A and B are shown apart, each in its own frame.
Chain A
Amino acid sequence: MTALTQVLSAIEPIVGSRWIRRGRAELETYSSDGLPTLHARPGAAVLPGSRDEVIRIVRALAQYHVPFVARGAGTGLSGGALAQADALLIILTRLTRILQIDPRNRRATVEPGVVNVRLSNAAAPFGLHYAPDPSSQTACTLGGNVAENAGGPHCVKYGVTTNHILALEVVLPDGDVVQLGSPGGDPWGPDLVGLFVGSEGMLGIATRITVRLTPLPTAVRTLLADFNTLRAAGEAVSAIIAAGVVPAALEMMDRNCVGVVESSIYAAGYPTDAAAVLLVELDGMEDDAVADVARAVAALLADHGARTIRTASDEADRQRLWQGRKKAFGALGRLSPDLVVQDAVVPRSTLPDVLDRIAAIGDRYGLTVSNVFHAGDGNLHPNITFDRSDPDQRHRVERASVEIMEACIAAGGTITGEHGVGRDKLRYMPALFDANTLGAMRAVRRVFDPEERCNPGKVIPIHACREWTTAKRTIT
């Protein structure tokens, strides 16, 4: 009997057999996440119904030394929630309670399976929202957001997930339950909440999450500008940032992307002959002040060669402008059988050059690269549409992806801004971090998980780590 079979016998009385998945066909559902290029079928999957069940499952896994992976909605884009055949997948989508909304102190406590947008909807009656808004916010869970330190279009102004997490309850891989952070967000010691957020599910499972809520802006202006060249649009982005404007969102789409959106059911009226369109949103509490900034931004856009600048006339118009952006990935998905959504960040001033380089790489490999991204953060999403069944295309996509990452690193950037390293980007980690730093990450991981059973094989390329010896200190 394998350790996994043994542990399943121990877990079955905890959750009941109907919440355990073992068959090949039912496990196929969980064999990939939002990234189509990686597959792995877990040994089994379990869907606990409560925090207590999660704790008891993790304790059983510790007893039998079985590896495990926590999973939310499976919308991740780095293969971060994939589990191998020797591991148990713990699916947290049944933990969906919003435990508390505390409008006076602007905070909320939720279970990890709560869907991102549901929390914002629940906070809206108090004039508040949960600010990080990944494109998948109607599906992705807050537990996954915490694991990946998720971003979104409005993070340029409001910050990413880590800036909004005050406290966590975590089940450590050995089954101990720890409370990290305090109700107000000040730490009890070194900032373990800050360490946990973005650790991609390798330090434990968050079972309760306390987040900061942010006032909903009462004044909004949304502008759409289009440009003859990508370079001009990139320069306009730099000019807006350098002028000290803090836009609520600053998104760019290139010609390929606009064409796809406009020929889909999500058509938003973007000009299809433009090389690039910029979507700029400005928000605040006073309409006059926001209108002033919008005028200044419009002037900057015009100075940098915008052909037309359109301002959303009302909320319906604004929603339509956003719809094109938010559904761009979906529209791209219809273009060809498969889509690789890439994620990298470059210094904002290098955007024009890097976009040129990416276009050249796509041309060289005969691939269609469509860019739709968070320009205000320098967070690129070059997307490559392809057909996985064609080995030659697959190979070209692979080569082009590597070169795009290399170009971003060479520009002083990083390999992921919001999707995470997962399994997909392990190979790029040594290009970014030296053996000492990777060794430090592994040693930190072992403090939480000495057996390295919790989401194994992600983030840290073990062969590239310098080994860290941890001296056992005499306790005084």
Chain B
Amino acid sequence: MTRPTTERIRAMLGSAVRVDATADGIPRATPRHEEECALLLHHANAEGWTVAVQGSGAWAAPRPAALVIATTGLDGLSDVSPADLVATVRAGTTWRRLQQELGDHGMWLAIDPPGSDRTVGSVTATGTAGPLRSGFGQVREHILGLTIVTGDGKVVRTGGRVVKNVAGYDLAKLVTGSFGAFGIVTELHLRLRTVPRADQTLVGRGVRDELLDAALAIAEGGVPPAALELLSPGATGGDGWRLAVRLLGTDGDVEAGRNDVCRRAGIALADTSAMESAALWRGAAARAVDGQVTVRLGGLPEGLAATLDLVAHHLDDTVEDWMSATVPAGTVRWTGDARIEDLNLLRRLAAEREIPLTVERAPWETLERLGHFGAYREGVGRLVRGLCDVFDPGAVLRAPVGAT
């Protein structure tokens, strides 16, 4: 593997850019602008260096590479427009900082990704929505436009700052959730919401399938709550399964929602204080990295009991791990430690049921063998391969998306 020296990278970028070495002695650059990022990737492509992208280090495991590009220098909110409910933010900004600054303007981004202290770029690259997916959709739904630097150092700007836009292909959708296969995201335009006046979480306790039935009954009602999440003991740090229902909106909305949810649930749902509910949601997100591997299975709401059984049977038969089901979306996320063979078998069995299994995070050795994806339908693998060749022609980023 060709590898540049730290001095070479320093000379390339000038003294204003931080260049150091990782614990393994790999040169690491922290560019401050997309042009510097483009310069690095242009050279990497020309010289055959492989590149690993590092955010805050809170989600993805390190991977071998000739050069590390840290995105933490690409940080800060470039623009916030409360009247338009749109913000432009650089990808290295931490989630916490983003929400804090938006909060100062009375706004927020309605995504609560698993993990904590992650960067905006990490959440975008992995497409990891949390429980709020019930009410607000996937990560892709919140991104109006973005800038990427491709594997060979080209800058591509797609979408825009307006909330409705069909000019050109929707490359932002392609990039979101592609695990960095098509480039390094440097900046995003995000769709915001005003901070709701009322925010109430109700919690039910009981046996898993009883809670799931209650959740399905709630979901069958009208509009799904902001969150309708089934959480394993490992996810809450408690001693049994929980059903957590989050209602957001005006006081009237939340009151109406509570009545509706309680009527449909058929089980007791207890109010929580603001402090308790914040601890519940934050704790569950933080524990999502308690274990080396996180996978997501995307099925249908009706099939959730079977999906949960499938995961439990193959990865977690003592039900001690972190597990969470976003009921209206039909998705299950699991975190723990698992053997590659078990993950592979689970992926195959899930695929037979038309359920994609995405490896959201794992040690490099696992990812390299399994790929983030890897159960492509006939004819789709070649499209993904072709797209990787377009955006990463020198295989500099070589994201394990099953394209090699």
* A contact set with B: CB distance below 8 Å: 104-105, 107, 148-149, 151, 155, 159-160, 162-163, 172, 176-180, 182-195, 197-199, 215, 217-218, 238, 241-244, 246, 284-286, 288-289, 292-293, 345-349, 374, 377-379, 412-421, 425, 429, 432-434, 436-441, 443-445, 447-448, 459-460, 468-473, 475-476
Would you give the 0/1 interface string for B222-252, flagging 1 where the beta carbon is closer than 8 Å to chain A? 1100000000000000000000000001101
A-B interface, 8 closest residue pairs, ranked by CB to CB distance from nearest: A186-B298, A194-B173, A244-B194, A286-B256, A471-B393, A447-B386, A285-B222, A349-B83
Residues in B with CB closer than 8 Å to A448 are 383
A78 → B minimal CB distance (Å): 9
The verdict on B358 contacting chain A, using a C-beta distance below 8 Å, is yes
B82 at the interface (CB under 8 A from A): yes
Closest to A149 in B: B166
**B214 → chain A, closest Cβ, in Å?**
15
Closest B residue to A345 by beta carbon equals B162
> Contact: B329 with A184, CB < 8 Å?
yes
Q: Which residues of B contact A183 (CB under 8 A)?
A: 299-300, 354
Contact present for B356 and A194 (CB under 8 Å)? no
Q: Which residue of B lies closest to A182 (CB)?
A: B356
Contacts of A288 in B (CB 8 A): 252, 256
Give min CB distance, A20 to chain B, whole Å: 28
Report A-chain residues with C-beta under 8 Å of the C-beta of B383.
178, 192, 447-448
With beta carbons under 8 angstroms apart, the residue of B166, B182, B260, B381 that contacts A198 is: B166
A433 pairs with B376, CB closer than 8 A: no
Structural contact, B164 and A429, CB atoms closer than 8 A:
no
Report the number of A-B residue pairs with Cβ-Cβ less than 8 Å.
280
* Given known A-B contacts A176-B379, A189-B376, A475-B404, A345 and B163 have beta carbons under 8 A apart: yes
In the assembled complex, the Cα of A476 lies from the Cα of B404 at a distance in Å of 6
Known contacts A345-B162, A469-B393, A179 near B377 by CB under 8 Å: yes
Which residue, A148, A151, A187, A378, has most C-beta atoms of chain B within 10 A?
A: A187
Q: List 20 A-B contacts (CB under 8 A).
A: A186-B298, A186-B299, A186-B355, A188-B373, A190-B178, A191-B177, A192-B380, A193-B173, A199-B169, A215-B223, A244-B193, A284-B256, A288-B256, A289-B250, A293-B252, A348-B85, A417-B165, A429-B168, A470-B390, A473-B385
From the candidates B193, B194, B390, name the one contacting A440 in the complex (CB within 8 A). B390
**Which of B9-17, B50-58, B150-158 interfaces with chain A?**
B150-158
One of A159, A177, A199, A217 near B141 (C-beta < 8 A): A159
- Asked whether A244 and B393 contact (CB < 8 A) given A197-B170, A285-B223, the answer is no
Interface residue from A105, A413, A436, A476 paired with B302 (Cβ < 8 Å):
A105
- Which single member of A172, A345, A434 contacts B379 (CB below 8 Å)? A172
The answer to whether residues A292 and B252 also contact, given A104-B301, A286-B260, A417-B166 and a CB cut-off of 8 A, is: yes
Nearest Cβ distance between residue A404 and chain B, in whole angstroms? Answer: 15
Establish whether residues A194 and B390, one from each chain, have CB atoms under 8 Å apart when the complex forms. Answer: no
Question: CB-CB < 8 A to A186: which residues of B?
Answer: 296-299, 331, 355-356, 358
Of the listed residues A186, A460, A470, the one surrounded by the most CB atoms of chain B closer than 10 A to its CB is A186
Please tell me which one of the listed residues A176, A289, A438 contacts residue B256 in the complex, with CB atoms under 8 A apart: A289
Within 8 A of A (CB), among B169-194: 169-171, 173-174, 176-178, 181-182, 193-194
Contact with A along B370-404 (1 / 0, CB 8 A): 00010111111101111111110111000001101
* Shortest Cβ gap from A209 to chain B (Å): 16
Report the bound CA distance from A444 to B183 in whole Å.
Answer: 14
CB contacts (< 8 Å) of A238 on chain B: these are 83
CA distance A412 to B168 in the complex (A): 16
Q: Which residues of A contact B252 (CB under 8 A)?
A: 286, 288-289, 292-293
Q: Given the known A-B contacts A189-B402, A437-B156, are A347 and B329 also in contact in the complex, defined by CB atoms under 8 Å? A: no
Once the chains bind, are B164 and A378 in contact (CB under 8 Å)? yes
Please give the residue numbers on chain B whose beta carbons come within 8 Å of chain A beta carbons, in ascending order.
81-86, 127, 137-138, 140-141, 150, 154-158, 160-171, 173-174, 176-178, 181-182, 193-197, 220-223, 249-250, 252-253, 255-257, 259-260, 296-302, 329-331, 354-356, 358, 373, 375-381, 383-391, 393-395, 401-402, 404
| Residues from chain B with Cβ under 8 Å of A439 in the complex | 154
Residues of A contacting B356 in the complex (Cβ-Cβ under 8 angstroms): 182, 186-188
18 more contacts with CB within 8 A, not counting A293-B250, A417-B165, A444-B387, are: A186-B298, A189-B381, A190-B174, A190-B384, A190-B387, A197-B170, A285-B260, A349-B84, A377-B163, A413-B162, A434-B157, A436-B154, A437-B168, A439-B154, A441-B168, A444-B169, A460-B168, A470-B389
Query: Contacts A104-B301, A378-B164, A433-B168 hold; do A184 and B157 have CB atoms under 8 A apart?
Result: no
A440 CB to closest chain B CB (Å) equals 5
> Is the CB–CB distance between A191 and B176 below 8 Å?
yes
**CB closest chain-B residue, reference A194:** B173
Known: A195-B169, A293-B250. A418 touches B164 (CB 8 A): yes
Question: Do B393 and A470 have beta carbons less than 8 Å apart?
Answer: yes
Asked if residues B379 and A436 are in contact (CB atoms below 8 Å), the reply is no
A293 to B196, CA, bound (A): 13
Contact assessment for A191 and B380 in the assembled complex, using a CB-CB cutoff below 8 Å: no
- Cβ 8 A contact of B164, one of A155, A172, A434: A155
How far is A432 from B278 in the complex, measured between Cα atoms in Å? 42
B402: A residues at CB distance < 8 A: 189
| The residue from B249, B299, B385 contacting A184, defined by CB atoms under 8 A apart | B299
**Residues in A whose Cβ lies below 8 Å from that of B177:** 187, 190-191
Q: Which A residues are CB-close (under 8 A) to B157?
A: 433-434, 437
Assembled-state Cα–Cα distance A434/B155 (Å)? 9
Task: Tell me if A178 and B171 are in contact (CB < 8 A).
Answer: no
B258 to chain A, nearest CB (A): 11
Q: CA A437 – CA B160 in complex, angstroms?
A: 13
Complex contacts, A285 vs chain B, CB 8 Å = 221-223, 256, 260
Output the nearest chain B residue to A242 by Cβ-Cβ distance.
B83
Distance of A194 Cα from B173 Cα, bound (Å): 5
Verify A190–B401 contact, CB threshold 8 A.
yes
Q: A419 to chain B: which residues have CB within 8 Å?
A: 166
> Among the interface residues B167, B222, B390, B395, which one has the most CB atoms of the partner chain A within 10 A?
B167
Contacts of B376 in A (CB 8 A): 188-189
Q: Which residues on the A side are within 8 Å of B331 (C-beta)?
A: 184, 186
Contacts of A444 in B (CB 8 A): 169, 171, 174, 387, 390
CA A347 to CA B88, docked complex, whole Å: 13
Taking a contact as CB atoms under 8 Å apart, the answer to whether B194 and A242 are in contact is yes
A345 and B178: CB pair below 8 A? no
Q: Check B154–A440 contact: CB distance below 8 A.
A: yes
Contact A414 B140 (CB under 8 A): no
Does the CB pair A416–B302 fall under 8 Å?
no
In the complex, what distance in Å separates the CA atom of A374 from the CA atom of B164? 10
Distance to closest chain B CB from A298 (angstroms): 15
Q: Which B residues touch A415, using CB under 8 A? A: 167
A180: chain B residues at CB < 8 Å are: 377, 380
Residues on A with beta carbons closer than 8 Å to the beta carbon of B395: 473
CA distance A305 to B260 in the complex (A): 37
A160 neighbours in B (Cβ, 8 Å): 164, 166
Question: How far is the CB of B87 from the nearest CB of chain A, in Å?
Answer: 12
Distance of A179 Cα from B167 Cα, bound (Å):
25
Q: How far is the CA of A415 from the CA of B166 in the complex (A)?
A: 8
Please indicate the chain B residues that have their CB under 8 angstroms from the CB of A218 in the complex.
Answer: 222
Complex-state Cα separation, A185 to B174, whole angstroms: 14
Q: How far is the CA of A284 from the CA of B222 in the complex (A)?
A: 9
With a CB–CB cut-off of 8 A, which chain B residues contact A199? 169-170
**Which chain B residues lie closer than 8 Å to A432 at the CB level?**
160, 167-168
Q: Would you call A416 and B162 a contact (CB within 8 A)? A: no
**Residue among A162, A440, A469 facing the most chain B CB atoms (10 A cut-off):** A440
Given the contacts A104-B220, A412-B162, A163 and B141 also touching, CB distance less than 8 Å: yes
How far is B150's CA from A425's CA once the two chains are assembled, in angstroms?
A: 27
- A471 to B150 alpha-carbon distance, docked (Å): 13
A197 to B82, CA, bound (A): 29
Q: Which of the listed residues B150, B168, B401 has the most CB atoms from chain A within 10 Å of its own CB?
A: B168
